[in-house]
Amino acid sequence: MADIKALKATIHDSLRNIALKDGKITDEEELLIANVISNLDQYTKLIENALKDGNITKDEREMLFDGRMKMMEDSYRSAREDLQISDDESAILQRICKLVLDLERS
């Protein structure tokens, strides 16, 4: 994958900017962002393993799809941990959905 470190930094900065729209980043928002970056790390490892032989099999495509879904589910679960989703958390989740859709298309 092209510069994954730069991609993660861009995503991290983008999510932090969303969280900062109200002037502060709550502990819950910080945890949500950390969760996304952790899942992104796991997902990039899946991609690297799938690309080792230069061919992505049907099983590997399914594994990558499952990785993207895990990212979305874990993010939602993290945002709902306190039984409410703030406006900033909602905006972060929307950005994560867009990220997952972008990954889906690439």
Report the C-alpha gap between 78 and 57 in whole angstroms: 31
pLDDT digits (tens, 9 = 90+) for 15-64: 999 999 999 999 999 999 999 889 888 888 888 888 889 888 999 999 99
Residue corresponding to tokens 């980043």: 25
pTM score of the predicted model: 0.80
> What pLDDT does residue 98 have?
86
> What pLDDT does residue 106 have?
66
Structure tokens at 6: 């730069």
**What mean pLDDT is reported for the chain?**
87
Count Cβ atoms below 10 Å from residue 83 Cβ, excluding itself.
5
